[in-house]
Amino acid sequence: MTLVISVRVPDGIAIGADSLSTTHSNLRFKGNIETKCPKCGKRILLKDLPGPPIRIPVANFPTAQKLFPIRENFGVGFYGMSIINGITIYNHIKSNNKKWENFTEVSQLADALGKYFHNELKKQIKDIEKAPDSFIPLGFQLVGFDEESKPWGQTVTVYLGKNIKTEVKDKIGCSFGGEGYVVKKLWELRKEMGKGALYASFSLQDAVEYIDFLIGTTAKFQKFANMIPTVSEPVDIAVITGYSGFKWIKSKGYIKILEKN
């Protein structure tokens, strides 16, 4: 999975994502089941019946890239699957730059990205239309500014599964996608204490530190919990404003080199 967070404040938007990629494998097993014959009523032992595969995490890679700029106006953070049809999300985004270059509105670009990745998802998961509505193997947050989204910009969250679902936030505030259960608990505690975050008073630096805090706290919780972590540092963070576009604040060393070139 992963955790992507965006914070909209008076000066612009900050967006961040962790860097952990988790590889899964299907655990298969067989078992014996005792049942009753519907005709004669005798007990019957059915041996070595295959059970449904159980998907379990088997390995972690701590330097996956999940946050990307698209031109100078937009930033996008992905959670869920990090490789689709043998290609990383980063490679999908960068190899198709020309597909995104004519979009000037956040909602239009989110729609184009959603359709592209939904088609890629359907190629990999052949029977995805049979999946339950709650099955969301991939999602992303797109943030940016256009004529319709000033002065605070927009966060468009897109959920990709059997269908495409979209959620738009264009007011000052915070949005997350992915492994957000620790964030939810922190917000519940904040509400119980009557100590809400003052997003309307945040600077961009405050927004950056807030993202670092939420993702870092989630990563540390998972590190000491009885589980295989799905969120881990380092955290990549960028800011976007209506006047200077996308700027990296924190990024892994190799991404600085790739983006510079």
For the chain, the domains span 3-21+63-260
Q: What is the pLDDT of residues 115-126, one digit of tens each?
A: 999 999 999 998
pLDDT value at residue 21: 80
Q: What proportion of the chain, given as a percentage, has pLDDT over 70?
A: 91
| Stretch 222-234: mean pLDDT | 89
CATH code reported for the domain at 3-21+63-260 = 3.60.20.10
- The pTM of this model reads 0.84
Residue type, 197: A
Q: What is the pLDDT of residues 130-173, one digit of tens each?
A: 888 889 999 999 999 987 666 778 999 999 999 999 999 999 99
Beta bridge partners of 68: 76
Name the H helices within 89-236. 89-95, 97-100, 106-124, 181-193, 204-224
Q: Is the pLDDT of residue 24 over 70?
A: no
Q: Is the pLDDT of residue 59 over 70?
A: no
Q: CB 96: neighbour CB atoms within 10 A?
A: 14
From the centroid of its chain, how far is CA 23?
Answer: 15
Band of residue 259 on the pLDDT scale cut at 50, 70, 90: confident
User: What six digits make up the tokens of 177?
Assistant: 């996608």
- Lowest-confidence segment of 7-16, 45-54, 83-92, 165-174 by average pLDDT: 45-54
